[in-house]
């Protein structure tokens, strides 16, 4: 690939306070492709996602040639409190606040984008349901719709298939593949081997460093055997 076809992470160190979690990490992620980030707990997957999403600031190095626009970040669904009294439609609408601001009313175009994203994720019929009343798979699709409502060039997801049944995992994987077809660069952390094998590219992290990078069939061959 030429550099215009990749997102380049160059010699990046990042962490929290004085604690470095990622150290000297360099990688090249395909644009308009799906990259799976794998590795044991504590290897730095969530920190890498935070850097890509803009919520963690590197202490050295960083990202070059990142996709234009604000990243869409899908957190793990259990990070959203069940006590939050909010409907599905309003949850997805929160994705428009990034561009409109908290105090500006959403426009007709904004609400059209919200409805389109709900339709793409198959949650339109849940629009007036409370987020807390949904199943795990339904909630994950709503949070993904919220991220897509930001119309991101880069979509970052933290363990999107964890705890979901096989049908829900396949649904999420199909949505990510469709977004890739729309030109979105997708990066997701996962412990799900089948989902990682379905990606275009794979990063294997160990102890905050890049242990391997390349096609999933090559990077994950020892884990798959």
> Higher-confidence residue: 137 or 206?
206
Q: Are residues 191 and 224 in the same domain?
A: yes
> What local confidence, expressed as pLDDT, does residue 171 receive?
86
> What local confidence, expressed as pLDDT, does residue 41 receive?
93
- State which of 111, 133, 151 marks the end of a domain: 151
Average pLDDT, rounded, for the chain = 89
Q: Are residues 108 and 214 in the same domain?
A: no
Q: Which CATH number goes with the domain that contains 186?
A: 3.40.50.300
> What local confidence, expressed as pLDDT, does residue 5 receive?
78
- For the chain, the domain total comes to 2
The answer to whether residue 225 scores a pLDDT higher than 50 is no
Q: Are residues 222 and 176 in the same domain?
A: yes
Q: Are residues 84 and 67 in the same domain?
A: no
Range of the domain at 39: 1-71+154-225
Could you give the C-alpha distances from 134 to 32, 62, 86, 153, in angstroms and in order? 31, 37, 12, 28
Q: Count CB atoms within 10 A of the CB of residue 201.
A: 21
Q: Count CB atoms within 10 A of the CB of residue 22.
A: 27
Q: Are residues 118 and 145 in the same domain?
A: yes
> What local confidence, expressed as pLDDT, does residue 45 receive?
96
Q: Are residues 82 and 51 in the same domain?
A: no
Over the stretch 3-18, which tens digit does the pLDDT of each residue have? Answer: 557 899 999 999 998 8
Provide the whole-model pTM.
Answer: 0.89
Over the stretch 93-137, which tens digit does the pLDDT of each residue have? Answer: 999 987 776 677 899 999 999 999 999 999 999 999 999 899 888
Share of the chain above pLDDT 70, in %: 92
SS3 220: coil
Containing H/E element for 88?
Answer: helix 88-93
Over the stretch 30-72, which tens digit does the pLDDT of each residue have? Answer: 999 999 999 999 999 999 999 999 999 999 998 987 777 789 9
Could you give the C-alpha distances from 6 to 29, 62, 184, in angstroms and in order? 5, 14, 12
Smallest CA-to-CA distance from 205 within 9, 6, 60 is with 9
- pLDDT band per the 50, 70, 90 thresholds, residue 181: very high
Q: Are residues 131 and 164 in the same domain?
A: no
Q: Are residues 60 and 161 in the same domain?
A: yes
Containing H/E element for 217?
Answer: helix 216-219
- State which of 123, 151, 179 marks the end of a domain: 151
- State which of 134, 151, 168 marks the end of a domain: 151
């Amino acid at each position: 690939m030429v550099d215009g076809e990749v997102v380049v992470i160059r010699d990046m160190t990042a962490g929290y306070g004085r604690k470095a979690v990622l150290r000297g990490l360099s990688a090249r992620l395909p644009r308009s492709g799906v990259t799976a980030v794998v590795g044991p707990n504590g290897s730095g997957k969530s920190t890498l996602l935070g850097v890509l999403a803009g919520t963690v600031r590197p202490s050295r190095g960083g990202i070059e040639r990142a996709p234009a626009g604000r990243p869409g970040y899908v957190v793990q669904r259990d990070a959203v409190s069940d006590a939050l009294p909010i409907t599905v439609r309003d949850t997805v609408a929160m994705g428009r606040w990034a561009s409109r601001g908290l105090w500006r009313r959403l426009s007709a175009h904004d609400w059209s984008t919200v409805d389109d994203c709900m339709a793409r994720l198959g949650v339109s019929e849940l629009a007036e349901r409370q987020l807390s009343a949904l199943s795990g798979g339904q909630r994950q699709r709503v949070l993904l719709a919220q991220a897509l409502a930001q119309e991101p060039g880069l979509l970052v997801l933290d363990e999107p298939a964890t705890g979901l049944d096989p049908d829900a995992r396949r649904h999420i994987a199909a949505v990510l593949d469709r977004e890739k077809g729309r030109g979105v660069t997708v990066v997701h952390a996962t412990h799900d081997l089948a989902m990682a094998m379905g990606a275009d590219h794979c990063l294997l992290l160990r102890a905050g460093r890049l242990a391997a990078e390349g096609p999933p069939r090559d990077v994950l061959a020892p884990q798959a055997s």
